[in-house]
Chain A
Amino acid sequence: DAKTTQPNSMESNEEEPVHLPCNHSTISGTDYIHWYRQLPSQGPEYVIHGLTSNVNNRMASLAIAEDRKSSTLILHRATLRDAAVYYCILRDVRNSGGSNYKLTFGKGTLLTVNP
């Protein structure tokens, strides 16, 4: 799996937008960009994923650069509950058979939300 680079930590204030960056300069054309987060004392939780176009869901937005070498997870209004480690992960669709899709986690970004 291609590697990603994220800042170790970021800080934000409650009710303000948060932009979490991820660099993946060696991304291949068949890599999906996934974001997961892990709240304290919980298992990882899926946030969003995309391939080329920007994506929105109820949790967040994913902005993907035109050359796909970077992406940004956007939390529109941070809440205290969004304090977590955020992981940016690439998954190659060419892992064939419909079954070999492990997630390779890096160190992620620890997001602190101040009240």
Chain B
Amino acid sequence: DSGVTQTPKHLITATGQRVTLRCSPRSGDLSVYWYQQSLDQGLQFLIQYYNGEERAKGNILERFSAQQFPDLHSELNLSSLELGDSALYFCASSEPGLAGSYEQYFGPGTRLTVT
């Protein structure tokens, strides 16, 4: 158990809908990262928040947005869903530390199926 929790575990929804994925980082971790894993694209970084502020953006679609709240939990919002958005979405957290040296702890993921 990494200490990172994600809800829900599974989500099935229809095209055009909007969903919210939730992540609670490990106690004390300030950074939250979101990743998407699909069969054709592999594991891809989406976005990072650090202590409530957006710090880095990856291949995140404009239909997707995220935020980190004062209690440090994070939500990833996916809207106007398409079949191609079906994937595993992972959240990870990390503690402040020496640049480049500290590890990320991943949650169990949310499996999103768009029908």
Set of chain B residues within 8 Å of A105, measured between Cβ atoms: 35, 42-44
How many chain-A residues does the 8 Å CB contact rule pick out? 30
Q: Is A44 an interface residue (CB 8 A)?
A: yes
Set of chain A residues within 8 Å of B2, measured between Cβ atoms: 43, 45
Binds B, one of A2-10, A17-25, A90-98: A90-98
How many chain-B residues does the 8 Å CB contact rule pick out? 33
Set of chain A residues within 8 Å of B99, measured between Cβ atoms: 93-96, 98, 101
Separation in Å of the B106 CB from the closest CB of chain A?
3
**B103 and A46 within 8 A (CB):** yes
Binds A, one of B14-22, B70-78, B79-87, B90-98: B90-98
- Restricting to A99-115, which residues have a CB under 8 Å from any CB of B? 99-107
Task: Give the nearest-CB partner of B33 in chain A.
Answer: A102
The residues of B with any CB-CB pair to A shorter than 8 Å are 2, 4, 30-31, 33, 35, 42-45, 48, 50-51, 55-56, 58, 90, 92, 94, 96-109
6 nearest A-B residue pairs (beta carbon)? A43-B106, A93-B100, A99-B50, A46-B103, A105-B43, A93-B99
